[in-house]
Chains A and B, each alone.
Chain A
Amino acid sequence: MTTVESRVAPEVLVKIFTVASKIKLYDEEYRRTIRSGKIGGMYYSPRGQEIIPASFAAVLAPEDYVLTTYRGIHDQIAKGVPLPTLTAEFFGRATGSCKGKGGPMHVTDVSSGLILTTGVVGSGLPIAVGVGLSAQLRKSGQVAVVNFGDGASNIGAFHEALNMASLWNLPVIFACQNNQYAEYTAYSAGTSVDQVAKRGASYTMRSIHVDGNDPEAMYEAARTAVEAARAGQGPTLIEAVTYRFHGHSIGDSMPYMPKEELMAAMDADPVLRLRADLIGARVLTEDQVTAIEDGLRKEIDAAFEYAMAEPLPDAADSMTDVYAEGVAL
């Protein structure tokens, strides 16, 4: 497997910190809003996994594609889905990204390249193969990054997709966010290999095992994979090891996660660690960091206020967008 070593420019780390903080603050506001009873619905917090998509954000171009899963808000924010329409979609509003028809598990935002969110574990991978194939056939230079969890590496779609992407040398990055748990089951209880990245060898695929909470290593992994894809050197499997702070879904009391393991992970909060590192290395002052965070809070508050005030869809809208316009249901 490829190892990654390099120094990352300070402005890249600031970018990663900014995106990661946006995700962290958004997640905190979202969970607060659910607890307040203002909105209902399921929520799959990405807290703890922010550095992975934030690193991709520092590498990808706006026209590149990202695919994700129901735990995908971090990937959506990092790809640049506008917060007001994203939040309106989560609240089921008529003006949401998907007119309130998709919801958090099915967000698409074509304008920012967030081409698919699937609620089915592993199903995004074969679709990413097609997105990469399309880019290859159109000679567009675009790449596709498909995010999924460690649990998805045990489903057949993972293996079919890796085989085909390797066979056809497609510009696809398979980004496994290994947060150590497939729903309520620990990694080792469900996976026959100690590292998902080792599965890449079966498909002669460039594979990188990386600490997904380490912004320098994660950025280099993302950069290596994206540059290779863009240069026609085919797909990469990245296993980014991370940790899930808030269980499978909101309300999960996490009895299956050892307390000390969870505490240790939260003590090593990757966003706060990067914050401290940037200040410690004098890349940013405390005041500058606070200014970034205040700006993000304002943006997030405005998005939540906007979404809350937006109208719910008309009942008649349930009958549109099944087929192209004019087709009888």
Chain B
Amino acid sequence: MTAQSELTEPATSSERVLSQVQAIHEALDIALATDDRVFELGEDIQDPNGGGFKVHAGFSTKYGLDRVRPTPITEQAIMGAAIGAAITGMRPVPEIMLMNFMAVCADQLINHAAKLRYMSGGQTNVPITVRTVTGAGGGFGAQHSDMLEGPLVHTPGLKVVVPSNPADAKGLLLSSIFDDDPVVFIEMHHLYYSISGSVPEGDYRVPLGQASVVREGSDVTLISWGRQIHDCLAVADTLAADGISAEVLDLRTLVPLDTGAMLSSVAKTRRAVIVHEAVRRNGYGAELAATIGEELFGQLAAPVRRVASTNTPVPYSKPLELAHMPSRDGIEETVRALFK
């Protein structure tokens, strides 16, 4: 990957333009500087590398190895240590290098982090922010690419965040770190360098649980998150040329879900297409489609459609990988079919 290969938002003279990696780095820096209870732990996060994507560059030098704490390759202990520290007063920010490795520590996350507030009757809570990186399209094959938000949104007690742009990445990450519940913060590496944008200075926060209308429209709502927001925006441009006005709704936070924003947009446009990179079967799109169907059945002009990855592991070879993932052509075709 190359840095800042594609600027999506040109800078004006008063704006700072950062890549998503720079925005995340800045949020972590502010959190570490603001609150002694915040500390990071994860594999290879220390200088000189500062993590595989240099997210932590300079931190272990600036804050010390106690607070920017490199770990062995030991996901259960990373997650368990974060939980134990969190229930005794700290705000740990563990990094699980790649999202597929969350499966290695699923017991800690699903049986413990998600449930301790409930099982203790509110005596303990788990204010951890689990940062993890993933995404198909990088040629990493089946064990380094999955979007696994499905099992996470299916686990009561967890919050799940997927930013699509640098400003949201910074604002949502700071909100997550200072949130009192466990948050899984999913970073799609495709966006790390390909998407840049203006990012507010200082302790900027985007509240969890608020979707964002990133493009207004009147004929169809494209509901998505993360990388696929940019596909939806590109498709909306194409459709506009043919007189189809697409609204693009960035959920940003999958749990808590901004149900109100989703339903009011679809009530307006009467058509919905949900786009996500996770595989189609039992993906979050199924839940969203069911909710829209339950709440807006009589008002819809067309069935709710989903565009998602095919129900296979992520393949390695480029043509196979592209065939697996949701494409701009696929989104466009699905939307056009709603108007036939």
Contact = CB atoms under 8 A, between A and B. Distances in A.
Contact of B81 (A118, A129, A329): A129
Nearest to B114: A322
Pick the most buried of B39, B79, B116, B179: most chain A CB atoms within 10 A of its CB. B116
Contact of A123 (B108, B117, B257): B108
Closest 9 CB pairs of A and B: A126-B80, A130-B84, A99-B121, A98-B121, A108-B120, A130-B81, A160-B77, A106-B119, A127-B84
Interface in B185-241: 209
B146 interface: no
10 contacts: A108-B119, A110-B123, A115-B87, A130-B86, A134-B84, A157-B107, A164-B81, A320-B122, A327-B209, A329-B156
B322 interface: no
A65 to B, nearest CB: 7
Given A131-B88, A137-B85, A323-B181, A157 B76 contact: yes
A50 to B, nearest CB: 25
A129 to B, nearest CB: 5
Nearest to B81: A130
- Give the interface residue-count category, chain B: 35 or more
A176 interface: no
Interface of A: 65, 96-102, 106, 108-110, 115-116, 118, 120, 123, 125-135, 137-138, 144, 156-157, 160-161, 163-164, 167, 320-324, 327-329
A109 B76 CA distance: 24
A135 B79 CA distance: 17
Contacts of B259: 328
Interface in B109-134: 111-112, 115-125
A120 B116 contact: no
A118 B87 CA distance: 14
A131 B88 CA distance: 6
A126 B79 contact: yes
A135 B88 contact: yes
B80 A127 contact: yes
Contacts of A134: 84-85, 88-90
A12 B39 CA distance: 40
Interface in B236-280: 256-257, 259
A92 to B, nearest CB: 12
A137 B87 contact: no
B5 interface: no
B292 to A, nearest CB: 17
Contact of A116 (B77, B116, B122): B116
A138 B89 contact: yes
Contact of B84 (A97, A131, A323): A131
Contacts of B171: none
A321 B122 contact: yes
B120 A106 contact: yes
B77 A123 contact: no
B84 A132 contact: yes
B122 A99 contact: yes
B84 A101 contact: no
Given A130-B84, A135-B88, A161-B77, A324 B125 contact: yes
B42 interface: no
A174 to B, nearest CB: 13
Contacts of A101: 118-121
A91 to B, nearest CB: 14
Contacts of B74: 160, 163-164
Contacts of A320: 122
A298 B124 CA distance: 31
A109 B88 CA distance: 12
Contacts of A129: 77, 80-81, 84
A123 B81 CA distance: 11
Given A115-B87, A129-B81, A134-B89, A328 B124 contact: no
A167 B111 CA distance: 26
Nearest to A127: B84
A164 B90 contact: no
A234 to B, nearest CB: 15
B15 interface: no
A325 to B, nearest CB: 9
A115 B88 contact: yes
B35 interface: no
Contact of B112 (A99, A123, A132, A323): A123
Contacts of B107: 120, 123, 157
B88 A65 contact: yes
A116 B121 contact: no
Given A118-B111, A127-B87, A157-B107, 5 more contacts: A108-B124, A115-B87, A128-B84, A131-B84, A321-B117
B71 interface: yes
A134 B118 CA distance: 22
A134 B86 CA distance: 8
B135 interface: no
B72 A97 contact: no
B305 interface: no
Nearest to B258: A328
